[in-house]
A and B are shown apart, each in its own frame.
Chain A
Amino acid sequence: MGIISRGFQGRSRETDSRLPPGQFLTQDFPVLSYGPTPRVSTDEWKFTIRTETGAVHSWDWEQMMALPTEDIDTDIHCVTRWSKYDTNWRGVSLDTLLEDVESTHEFVMAHSYGGYTTNLPLDDITDGKAWIAFQYDGEPLEPEHGGPARLLIPHLYFWKSAKWVRGLEMQADDEPGFWEQNGYHLYGDPWLEQRYW
């Protein structure tokens, strides 16, 4: 327990097992990004997976929309300490996209329109844990929240759910992405409070 701040009472003491340590619940949907919001039209949008052999798997918007979709109802947790419960998304599972991808590498770098990157272990984006999401609450995903499509990896802090995603690159080592080079944790488990270096 830290030192007591005189006069601070705080709010509810209800323990909530859904809320990771150090988080608070919000009804809003705050926006976090390091620069201007890129405007990417679905006409030019493309999603690409590259492997160490040079193999390239890619989908344009129409091809992505033709894949089986899933509805995801999940809590999300931002490293800036807000959590939001019961968010509703629709997207394509990365299991579907990775089905025909052959690689011996165990990590990926996600790349976004606008230059953002974030690193992930392959194990964290397979087996029903990650999606390319393009709808939020039944509506097309807004640009501020990563539209037309973003990663959705709800078991990690939300900076890992890269907005404006345009591809994955398989990588041999867990090289750090953008925020990971700028002070954030390499992995980002909200339940372990892996916020910063």
Chain B
Amino acid sequence: MVGWKVGVVAESRSETPSGRSIILEVPGWGGNIAGQHLDARVTAPDGYQAVRAYSIATSGDGDRIQLGVDRVQGGEVSPYLVDDLQVGDALEVKGPLGGWFVWKPEHTQSVQLIGGGSGVVPLMAMIRSHRATQSAVPFRLLYSARSEEHTFFRDELAQSSPALDVTLLYTRQAPDGWPRAAGRVTKEDLVATTFPADISPSVFVCGPTPFVEAVASTLVELGHHPLMVKTERFGG
């Protein structure tokens, strides 16, 4: 494991009313696998430090990485990253971390991604890796967001991409004319929009704990082998 590296904000973009994507230039980063995360450390003028883990939305070689951060109510670090951090500001990062919740282009199994809220961030890294390598592996994304404006990477996900199928579901408010009413992901949604268990897809589920618990349990009910369902949970 390597030490802390300085990351300078190269770009910062509002993604949702509570979320932002931040592009960092990290000299010596050296690349990461799609799905990995990092530790971010911020330091106050008196030396006080706080560290939190964030998923990386990008992958591959290079020293430019993108994070997707959602503001946690009452949080210590995320409100700073979302509301205060500006282009040119610096923080420190350590990573890449994690060797389980990852997708590599040499994996040939069909891939089902299921994200809730900002849980789409590491899945986006996989989609981008899939696209960048012109992979023919069938990819599907089921993304559950509060509403259209709460959708991370909205424009990018709207672009068509070969071998990628995207389904958006809204929990609070669906756009006018949307084929499905707003609501949480159900068993019927999973049956209708995700790869079935009998083709043994590799499944990645990321989001808030209750979302991941519900989705992962339903997938097992639907016949997916538990070891084919990789999860990443966040929040209390």
Contact = CB atoms under 8 A, between A and B. Distances in A.
A13 B226 CA distance: 43
A9 interface: yes
A196 B97 contact: yes
Nearest to A179: B100
The winner among A28, A144, A179 for most chain B CB atoms within 10 A is A144
Interface in B53-79: 53, 76
A64 to B, nearest CB: 24
A10 B231 contact: no
Q: Main secondary structure on chain A at its contact with chain B?
A: loop
B172 interface: no
A35 B51 contact: no
B6 interface: yes
A115 B4 contact: no
Contacts, number: 113
Interface string A65-96: 00000000000000011000000000000000
How extensive is the interface on chain A, given as a class?
Answer: 35 or more
Contacts of B179: none
Interface in A1-16: 1-11, 13
B235 A36 contact: no
B99 A2 contact: no
A184 to B, nearest CB: 9
B49 interface: yes
Contacts of A37: 213, 216-217
Given A6-B89, A33-B231, A36-B229, A144 B213 contact: yes
B84 A7 contact: yes
A98 to B, nearest CB: 30
Interface string B93-123: 0000111110000000000000000000000
A101 B92 CA distance: 48
A32 B233 contact: yes
Nearest to A5: B42
Contacts of A8: 42-44, 50, 80, 84
A42 interface: no
Contact of A34 (B4, B48, B100, B220): B100
A181 interface: yes
A182 interface: yes
14 contacts: A2-B41, A3-B43, A4-B45, A6-B86, A7-B80, A7-B85, A8-B42, A8-B50, A31-B233, A34-B230, A34-B231, A36-B217, A179-B100, A183-B98
Interface of B: 1, 4, 6, 41-53, 76, 80, 84-86, 89-92, 97-101, 209, 213, 216-217, 219-220, 226-227, 229-231, 233-236
Interface of A: 1-11, 13, 22, 24, 26-39, 80-81, 114-115, 144, 179, 181-183, 195-197
